[in-house]
């Protein structure tokens, strides 16, 4: 139990990931699938960010009075790039959904499959 | 560090990505200028990538440290033997783009042609960057470049199914990318480095086992989805069949191979890591590969739509590569790595030849295209040669791969696997004989087929060159094998 509390951030990330996975797999609405994907992405970002945090750390900025320990800048860079990628994926996915809606008149995956 | 090979490596990656940005404004000015620009950038980049491969084959792998920051702190670009095999296939990309000029005029409306060219260049940059990097996070970034451009390119297909196929491809792709990103984050927390060579060294140095296994699983699963290894192939057939033919050629020939390159990188990283049971993983991989071979071949057999047939044949061919990797002995790995290159050539020839038939007639099923052989003799002749090669009749490129895989299976004392290889070659022979029979020996049913003639030279030349290469590569197979072998030895732990 103490281990779980110690690693509350990881537990949270795993729960979020599973919620996103549920939405991605179980929901038929394509927009909800995209939301699920975004929740999963957020979970991974949280996992990477919290892994790079130091206890009582300061931001990784070099100034006159930088004191160690400071948070790991590489984890934050990874997540920044990850967010950029996630936004692009979401944008592309949403534009595809508008096209699917224009062509098929529905954005429900099960109706799409039936009417192919 | 400012020697020419390093600069060449940087320009091969920077040129297509920056060149893509210019495609859109140029397209506003003139369609012709933009096309010429795309062709120029593609040609120069692919020639550069080819030179990188030539250098790797002569002097071995080499690195470039971006901005002068030495590894493991800076980002290391690294051309090794497996990257060189992708570089060797870069001319295929150039030929496809060359062919695509006329095809895209017919298949893509004018307003969307600028982004189409830009996406092709971004895709090229992503493919080469993925193959030529020594940094795991850099690998992820380039992976997203070629993946995102591939999703968008699939949506250029004319059929109604294209957008939905692209969406499915996007969801599977994004999920696998997420697994890879998670694994990268975990590995970074475990080792404190992102350089792949450094990471392998530190992982061998005793890191807690359980998280390492988790990282390995996520990375391998992510790349297996990208490579469409059975049963993670579900996104592939629709996406590859819905895309315009030049895009299908690139997706089937090169983009799915990146998953395989990724798996090879995974082997590199986890070579000495404690807790990771590579033999069991390999056993599973080769079994999945064998299932994929049979499954892909049988499903290809029942398709009437030739593009879907070729897409299922890609599933089957990825199975061959997976079997070779899973055998993890000298013959198996050699066969798998040269098939990365051979299959790129063969499948590009097939998709482009079929594209030429569709371009002239508007049809793409076996039954509609009956009798086309007499009307378009050069195209169908080229198609037949490529067909013989993908089936694996000696002395073609496909035969060399299958020979190595069969020898590897026997060496690993798995005769059942060798039998699967032979059996599926027979099934493939049937479905390709079906095409050839329909094209040459059946009367035409459509007027468009009766009136069709071979396409103009700018489309015909790439088709003939690629299909000629798929034949010739069987005779000069020592070239790709010579490049792959030192890399294979490195994977097997010889240095």
C-alpha B21/C-alpha B3 separation (Å) is: 27
Q: What pLDDT is attached to residue A3?
A: 67
Residues of B in contact with A85 (CB under 8 A): 141, 144, 148, 177
Note the residue count of chain B.
495
CA distances from B420 to A41, B302, B416 (A): 40, 19, 6
Residues of A in contact with B141 (CB under 8 A): 81, 85
Partner residue facing B137 (CB), from A44, A51, A78: A78
C-alpha B373/C-alpha B484 separation (Å) is: 38
Chain A contact probe: residue of B181, B215, B222 with most A CBs at under 10 A: B181
Under 8 Å CB-to-CB from B321, ≥6 apart: which residues? B227, B257, B260, B289, B336, B339, B340, B343
Q: Do A89 and B137 touch (CB under 8 A)?
A: no
Partner residue facing A96 (CB), from B155, B184, B188: B155
Pair B310, B350: CB distance under 8 Å: yes
Residues of B in contact with A46 (CB under 8 A): none
Q: Do A24 and B141 touch (CB under 8 A)?
A: no
Residues of A in contact with B155 (CB under 8 A): 96, 99
Residues of B in contact with A52 (CB under 8 A): 189
> Peptide bond preceding A69: is omega within 30 degrees of 0, i.e. cis?
yes
Residues of B in contact with A81 (CB under 8 A): 137, 140-141
DSSP label at residue A58: B
CA distances from B293 to A50, B124, B263, B431 (A): 43, 28, 18, 14
Pair B249, B150: CB distance under 8 Å: no
C-alpha B260/C-alpha B321 separation (Å) is: 8
Q: What pLDDT is attached to residue B1?
A: 43
Alpha helices in B60-135 (DSSP H): 81-88, 90-107, 113-131
C-alpha B74/C-alpha B66 separation (Å) is: 7
A-B Cβ pairs (cutoff 8 Å, strict):
79
C-alpha B57/C-alpha B48 separation (Å) is: 14
Pair B326, B289: CB distance under 8 Å: yes
Task: Give kind and range of the element (H or E) at residue B64.
Answer: strand B62-65
CA-nearest of A4, A49, A93, A8 to B182 is A49
Q: In a 3-state reduction of DSSP, which class is residue A32?
A: helix
Q: In a 3-state reduction of DSSP, which class is residue A70?
A: strand
DSSP label at residue B232: S
Q: What pLDDT is attached to residue B495?
A: 45
Q: What is the ipTM of this complex?
A: 0.93
CA-nearest of B349, B351, B369 to B464 is B349
Q: Write out chain A's pLDDT in tens, 116 residues.
A: 666 777 788 899 999 999 999 999 999 999 999 999 999 999 999 999 998 888 888 888 877 777 778 888 899 999 999 999 999 999 999 999 999 999 888 888 888 875 44
Q: What pLDDT is attached to residue A1?
A: 61
C-alpha B341/C-alpha A1 separation (Å) is: 52
Q: What pLDDT is attached to residue A116?
A: 45
Q: In a 3-state reduction of DSSP, which class is residue B85?
A: helix
Tokens of A92: 């592309």
Chain B contact probe: residue of A30, A44, A46 with most B CBs at under 10 A: A44
Q: In a 3-state reduction of DSSP, which class is residue A54?
A: coil
Q: Write out chain B's pLDDT in tens, 495 residues.
A: 447 888 899 999 999 999 999 998 998 888 889 999 999 999 999 999 999 999 999 998 998 988 888 878 888 999 999 999 999 999 999 999 999 988 888 888 888 888 999 999 999 999 999 999 999 999 999 999 999 999 999 999 888 889 999 999 999 999 999 999 999 999 999 998 999 999 998 988 877 888 899 999 999 999 999 999 988 888 999 899 999 999 999 999 999 999 999 999 999 999 888 778 888 999 999 999 999 999 998 898 888 899 999 999 999 999 999 999 999 999 999 999 999 999 999 999 999 999 999 998 888 888 898 888 888 999 999 999 998 888 888 888 888 998 999 999 999 888 888 888 888 888 888 877 888 888 888 888 888 888 888 888 889 999 999 999 999 988 888 889 999 999 999 888 754
Partner residue facing A44 (CB), from B163, B185, B189: B185
Q: In a 3-state reduction of DSSP, which class is residue B78?
A: strand
Q: Do A78 and B185 touch (CB under 8 A)?
A: yes
DSSP label at residue B112: G
Q: What pLDDT is attached to residue B310?
A: 92
CA-nearest of B280, B351, B350, B292 to B321 is B292
CA-nearest of B123, B139, B124 to B80 is B139
Cα torsion at B347, B466, B431, B283 (round to 10°)? Answer: -40
Residue of B nearest to A13 (CA): B182
Residues of A in contact with B157 (CB under 8 A): none
Q: Which residue has the tokens 């000629």?
A: B468
Percent share of chain A, pLDDT over 70 = 94
CA distances from B27 to A62, B34, B116, B250 (A): 44, 5, 11, 23
Q: Do A89 and B170 touch (CB under 8 A)?
A: yes
DSSP string covering B187-206: HHHHHS--BHHHHHHHHTTT
Q: Do B189 and A51 touch (CB under 8 A)?
A: yes
Q: Do B170 and A33 touch (CB under 8 A)?
A: no
Residue of B nearest to A109 (CA): B164
Pair B359, B376: CB distance under 8 Å: no
Partner residue facing B166 (CB), from A37, A96, A104: A96
Under 8 Å CB-to-CB from A6, ≥6 apart: which residues? none
Q: What pLDDT is attached to residue B196?
A: 92
CA-nearest of B205, B173, B208, B172 to B190 is B208
Q: Do A24 and B167 touch (CB under 8 A)?
A: no
Pair B121, B12: CB distance under 8 Å: no
Residue of A nearest to B154 (CA): A96
Residues of B in contact with A96 (CB under 8 A): 151, 155, 163, 166-167, 170
* CB neighbour class for B135 (10 Å; exposed up to 12, middle 13-18, buried from 19): buried
Partner residue facing B167 (CB), from A78, A88, A93: A93
Q: Where are the domains of chain A?
A: 2-114
Residue environment code for B216-235, b if the CB has 16+ CB neighbours within 10 A, otherwise e: bebbbbbbbbbbbbbebbeb
DSSP string covering B297-364: HHHHHT-SBHHHHHHHHHHHHHHHHHHHHHH-SHHHHHHHHHHHHHHHHHHHHHHHHHHHHHHHHS--
Under 8 Å CB-to-CB from B447, ≥6 apart: which residues? none
Which residues in A have their CB inside 8 Å of a CB on B? 24, 30, 33, 37, 40-41, 44, 47-48, 51-52, 74-75, 78, 81-82, 85, 88-89, 92-93, 96-97, 99-100, 103-104, 112, 116
Pair B215, B269: CB distance under 8 Å: no
- Closest chain B C-alpha to A97 CA, distance in angstroms: 8
C-alpha B445/C-alpha B258 separation (Å) is: 41
Pair B162, B152: CB distance under 8 Å: no
Q: In a 3-state reduction of DSSP, which class is residue B394?
A: coil
Q: Do A24 and B137 touch (CB under 8 A)?
A: no
Chain B contact probe: residue of A20, A82, A95 with most B CBs at under 10 A: A82
Partner residue facing B185 (CB), from A48, A92, A93: A48
Residue of A nearest to B178 (CA): A41
Q: Do B163 and A44 touch (CB under 8 A)?
A: no
Q: Which CATH number does A2-114 carry?
A: 1.10.287.3510
Note the residue count of chain A.
116
- Closest chain A C-alpha to B262 CA, distance in angstroms: 19
HSE (CB half, 13 Å, CA atoms) of B402? 26
C-alpha A67/C-alpha A58 separation (Å) is: 7
Q: Which residue has the tokens 């307003």?
A: B111
Tokens of B171: 């969801």
Tokens of B11: 């320009």
Q: What pLDDT is attached to residue B208?
A: 81
Residue of B nearest to A94 (CA): B167
Which residues in B have their CB inside 8 Å of a CB on A? 137, 140-141, 144, 148, 151-152, 155, 160-161, 163-164, 166-167, 170-171, 174-175, 177-178, 181-182, 184-186, 188-189, 194
């Amino acid at each position: 139990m103490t281990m779980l509390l110690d690693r509350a951030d990881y537990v949270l990330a795993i729960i979020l990931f599973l919620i996103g996975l549920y939405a991605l797999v179980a929901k038929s609405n394509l927009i909800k699938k995209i939301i699920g994907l975004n929740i999963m992405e957020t979970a991974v970002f949280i996992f990477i960010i919290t892994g790079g945090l130091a206890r009582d750390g300061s931001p990784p900025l070099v100034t006159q009075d930088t004191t160690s320990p400071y948070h790991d800048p590489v984890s934050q860079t990874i997540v920044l790039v990850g967010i950029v990628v996630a936004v692009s994926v979401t944008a592309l996915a949403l534009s595809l959904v508008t096209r699917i809606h224009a062509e098929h008149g529905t954005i429900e995956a099960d109706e799409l499959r039936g009417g192919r | 560090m400012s020697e020419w090979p390093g600069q060449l490596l940087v320009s091969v990656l920077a040129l297509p990505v920056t060149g893509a940005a210019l495609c859109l404004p140029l397209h506003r000015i003139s369609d012709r200028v933009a096309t010429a620009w795309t062709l120029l950038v593609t040609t120069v980049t692919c020639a550069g990538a080819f030179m990188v491969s030539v250098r790797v084959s002569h002097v071995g792998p080499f690195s470039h440290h971006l901005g002068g920051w030495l590894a493991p702190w800076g980002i290391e670009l690294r051309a090794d033997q497996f990257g060189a095999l992708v570089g060797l296939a870069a001319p295929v990309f150039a030929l496809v783009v060359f062919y695509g000029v006329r095809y895209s005029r017919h298949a893509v409306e004018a307003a969307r042609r600028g982004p189409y060219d830009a996406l092709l260049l971004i895709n090229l940059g992503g493919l080469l960057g993925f193959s030529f990097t020594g940094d795991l996070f850099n690998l992820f970034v380039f992976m997203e470049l070629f993946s995102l451009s591939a999703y968008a390119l699939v949506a250029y297909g004319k059929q109604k199914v294209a957008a939905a196929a692209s969406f499915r491809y996007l969801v599977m792709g994004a999920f696998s990318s997420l697994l890879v990103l998670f694994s990268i984050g975990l590995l970074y927390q475990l080792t404190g480095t992102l350089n792949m060579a450094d990471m392998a060294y530190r992982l061998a140095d005793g890191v807690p086992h359980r998280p390492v296994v988790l990282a390995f699983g996520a990375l391998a699963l992510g790349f297996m989805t990208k490579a469409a290894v059975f049963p993670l192939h579900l996104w592939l057939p629709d996406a590859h069949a819905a895309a315009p033919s030049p895009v299908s050629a690139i997706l089937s020939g090169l983009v799915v191979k990146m998953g395989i390159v990724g798996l090879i990188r995974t082997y590199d990283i986890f070579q000495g890591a404690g807790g990771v049971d590579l033999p069991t993983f390999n056993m599973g991989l080769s079994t999945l590969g064998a299932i994929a071979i049979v499954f892909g071949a049988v499903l290809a057999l029942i398709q009437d739509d030739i593009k879907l047939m070729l897409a299922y044949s890609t599933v089957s061919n990825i199975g061959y590569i997976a079997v070779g990797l899973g055998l993890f002995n000298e013959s198996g790995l050699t066969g798998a790595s040269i098939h990365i290159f051979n299959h790129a050539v063969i499948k590009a020839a097939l998709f482009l030849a079929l594209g030429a038939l569709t371009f002239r007639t508007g049809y793409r099923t076996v039954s509609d295209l009956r009798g086309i052989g007499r009307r378009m003799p050069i195209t169908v002749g080229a198609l037949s040669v490529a067909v013989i090669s993908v089936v694996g009749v000696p002395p073609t490129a496909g035969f060399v791969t299958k020979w190595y895989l069969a020898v590897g299976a026997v060496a690993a004392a798995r005769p059942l696997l060798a039998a699967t290889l032979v059996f599926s070659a027979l099934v493939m022979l049937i479905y390709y004989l079906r095409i050839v029979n329909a094209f040459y020996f059946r009367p035409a049913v459509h007027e468009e087929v009766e009136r069709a003639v071979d396409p103009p030279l700018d489309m015909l030349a790439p088709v003939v060159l690629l299909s000629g290469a798929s034949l010739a590569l069987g005779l000069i197979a020592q070239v790709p094998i010579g490049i792959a072998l030192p890399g294979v030895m490195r994977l097997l732990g010889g240095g």
